[in-house]
Amino acid sequence: MNNKSIESLLSSAVKNAAPDVLDTVLSECDRKEGRVIIMANAKKKKTVTAIAAVAAMLVLVLAGVFFIGGGPSAQIAAVVSLDVNPSIQLEVNKHEKVIDAEALNADGETILGDMDLEGTDLEVAVNAVVGSMLKNGYLDDMANSILVSVKGNGSYDAQALKARLGEEISALLSNGAVLTQDISDADSEVTALAEKYGISVGKASLINEIVTNDNGRHDFDELAGLSINELNLISKNTTVSGVDSEGTASDKAYIGKDKALGAALKHAGLSKSDISGLEIELDYEYGVMVYEIEFDCGANEYDYDINALDGSVEAYDNEISGSISSGGTSYKSKASGKVDYDDDDDDDDDDDDYTPAKKTESGSELIGKDKAVSVALGSAGLSKSDVRELEVELDRDDGNTVYEVSFKNSGYEYEYEIDAYSAAILFSDKELDD
Amino acid sequence: MFIIMALHEEAESLSDKLEALLALMAQGDKDALAELYELTYPSVYGFAMSMSQTPHDAEDILQETFINAFNAADRYVPHGKPMAWLMTIAKNLARMRLRELGKTTHLPDEDWSCYLSDKQSVTSDERILLTKALELLSETEQQIVMLFAVSGLKHREIAQLLDLPLATVLSKYSRAIKKLKNEMEAE
């Protein structure tokens, strides 16, 4: 027995079980007077906030299947992808029923969980997915950006759907930042990039836009692993066309411009009143989000990359009349002695709360996420294809800069901390995955 | 998909039909009421069953719903949801009734199984399914299943009517129907 046959049996059962009261009804209606009329009440004002309503979506554990669109008419009219970090792709037919819902990455799998969205209305599915993203902490105060990409097939009006979904999601997320784009015309190059990096065509298209327009500051490879919130923040530095943006990407996860500037000034031995021509923007460099800070002090131009998470100095340049300090040239400026960055500081300072700057030419370099993953996998005796929910992130732990790598394999959850410079395994753990 | 489209169109034309009948009822047309009754009594009754302790209560709600619908028809604002409107009346009646009845306890299962076995028109499969539904499902689950399967309301409309989050409706529905399916397969 399937759902449909249960439903129709129930329907006929109720019909057959119902008493016939029509005669009573008709005769009662003659005596109209004096009767209390129970009305359908006016639509109740919603007291729940949008977020709460979405959060309630979380309960969604759809094990059953509603209408399944099968057969030849289940043609894909549009493909909607939702990227946050989790990437979900929904294929819908012309009635906007979901034909297929697919997670495009491990986070996406977490989001979809046991939800079976096939056959549901697109709107319902989008609600459920966004709700699950909120519940699972992928969308919050600190990272509030979501990318909605619509690809229409044939004559399908992707623009309209895009606009509608954008509005809907903006309404669901108070203080969210919603990027929408119509990718019906995405070229094969973008599609190929999406495939290569295992990301949605929508995300690939956004990254491609940024890379094309940012004067070579980034390459695709570098940005492919970023979350939409990070990309949204970065995209502010360039002109990105074809993407509608609603709301402001949150930078609350980061230390903020003031603190970043403070760190740079402290490092330079300057105070705010000494400098001019200040520019600060969030960017992604050296595998981390950084505040790029530029300022002048007299004839000196300073250029800092301050780690946006912990305020450490990732890199800096100090240029006087064309000579660049990062080559190790000793020079004197107002920042006398403070601008060199060898580890054996001669100033023996007490302001050693900065990590040594990891200027690319000056010694240690991050091993990179891929290397960290391969070290962890190697230690576990597994290969990338064996594991799921692979996550890696750069973090600081007990003063060490580490890659935290976690993944799952046949009932076990593995966690590693890999030294981000030496690739040494600092910590490993394997436990039963509950 | 063809079936879905057909269902969809059917539901839409039913809504149109019901709205036309309500418009006539608003002018006191009792033939329209009779026609509306014929088209919707299973829907109202199913929902009434899910909200009632006894067959007697369900019958009262069924009856009162149509009487109230007739009297309130002139206040119906057509917006394509006549069935939901009807169900809201039934819901309000049931709630009022429940308040009146207070905490009187019944032996609902016994009542219903007697009622159903007396009904000649009900097949044995139907009786089993209905009894199981009333026995095993929570009241909310019953309501959701009836509103969806019998009344043909959309999940979204059900959510609105019962003041529940859509996700709750979806998950409760799928759980309930699964439960019934398992029971029927075990029979």
The pLDDT tens digits of the residues spanning B87-112 come to 999 998 888 877 766 545 554 545 78
Q: Which of A119-123, B45-49, B77-81 has the lowest mean pLDDT?
A: B77-81
Q: Does A57 touch chain B (CB under 8 A)?
A: yes
Q: Chains A, B: CB contacts under 8 A, how many?
A: 188
Per-residue pLDDT, A364: 63
Task: Write the pLDDT tens digit of every residue in A70-99.
Answer: 443 468 889 999 999 889 999 999 888 898
Residue A48, Cα to own-chain centre: how many angstroms?
A: 26
Residue B122 pLDDT > 70: yes
Domain A369-432 has CATH 3.10.450.40: yes
Between A60 and A235, the higher pLDDT residue = A235
Residue of B nearest to A63 (CA): B174
Please, which residues have CB within 8 angstroms of residue B148's CB and are 6 or more apart in sequence? A7, B155, B158, B173
Q: Whole-angstrom Cα distance, residue A428 to residue A420?
A: 15
Per-residue pLDDT, A251: 87
Among A43, A56, A95, the residue with its CB nearest the CB of B167 is A56
Q: Whole-angstrom Cα distance, residue A290 to residue B69?
A: 65
Residue B1 pLDDT > 80: no
Task: Write the pLDDT tens digit of every residue in B130-173.
Answer: 999 998 999 999 999 999 999 999 888 899 899 888 888 888 99
Collapsing DSSP states into helix, strand and coil, what is residue A209?
Answer: helix
Residue of A nearest to B113 (CA): A17
pLDDT band at A328 (very low <50, low <70, confident <90, very high): very low
Q: Do B125 and A9 touch (CB under 8 A)?
A: yes
ipTM of the complex: 0.89
Per-residue pLDDT, A34: 39
Between A141 and A306, the higher pLDDT residue = A306
Among B71, B119, B185, the residue with its CB nearest the CB of A17 is B119
Taking all residues of chain A, what is their mean pLDDT, rounded to a whole number?
77
Whose tokens are 């340049």? That residue is A317
Locate the domains of chain A by residue range. Answer: 3-39, 51-246, 254-363, 369-432
Mean pLDDT of A174-193: 88
pTM: 0.44
pLDDT band at A46 (very low <50, low <70, confident <90, very high): very low
Q: Whole-angstrom Cα distance, residue A54 to residue A132?
A: 8
Mutate which: A8, A10, A33, A44, vs B, most B CBs within 10 A: A10
Which of B23, B56, B19 has the alpha carbon at shortest distance from B39? B19
- Alpha-carbon dihedral of residues A385, A386, A388, A392, nearest 10 degrees? -70
Residues in chain A with CB shorter than 8 Å from the CB of B163 are 44
- Element (H or E) spanning A81, and its range? strand A78-83
Task: Write the pLDDT tens digit of every residue in A351-380.
Answer: 433 333 433 333 367 888 888 999 999 888
Taking all residues of chain B, what is their mean pLDDT, rounded to a whole number?
85
Residue of A nearest to B9 (CA): A95
Per-residue pLDDT, A320: 54
pLDDT band at A415 (very low <50, low <70, confident <90, very high): confident
Q: Which of A258-262, A388-392, A394-398 has the lowest mean pLDDT?
A: A394-398
Asked if the domains at A254-363 and A369-432 fall in one CATH topology, the answer is: yes
Per-residue pLDDT, A53: 44
Q: What is the CATH number of domain B2-186?
A: 1.10.1740.10
pLDDT band at B186 (very low <50, low <70, confident <90, very high): confident
Which of A364, A361, A362 has the alpha carbon at shortest distance from A422? A364
Q: Are the beta carbons of A149 and A201 closer than 8 angstroms?
A: yes
Residue A324 pLDDT > 60: no
Please, which residues have CB within 8 angstroms of residue A255's CB and are 6 or more apart in sequence? A263, A291, A306, A308, A309, A310, A311
Fold of domain A254-363? Nuclear Transport Factor 2; Chain: A, (3.10.450)
Mean pLDDT of B48-73: 91
Q: Which of A139-143, A227-231, B26-30 has the lowest mean pLDDT?
A: A139-143
Residue A17 pLDDT > 60: yes
CA–CA min distance A111, chain B (Å) = 15
The DSSP secondary structure of B77-127, one letter per residue, reads PPSS-HHHHHHHHHHHHHHHHHHHHTT----HHHHHHHHHHH-TTS-HHHH
pLDDT band at B20 (very low <50, low <70, confident <90, very high): very high
pLDDT band at A343 (very low <50, low <70, confident <90, very high): very low
Residue A330 pLDDT > 60: no
Between A116 and B39, the higher pLDDT residue = B39
Q: Does A61 touch chain B (CB under 8 A)?
A: yes
Between B70 and A198, the higher pLDDT residue = B70
Residue A50 pLDDT > 70: no
Among B1, B55, B84, the residue with its CB nearest the CB of A73 is B1
Highest mean pLDDT among A44-53, A114-123, A390-399: A114-123
Q: Which amino acid is at A222?
A: E
Residues 89-128 of A with CB under 8 A from B: 93, 95, 97, 120-121, 124, 127-128
Per-residue pLDDT, A429: 77
Q: Which of A32-41, A160-169, B66-75, B127-136 has the lowest mean pLDDT?
A: A32-41
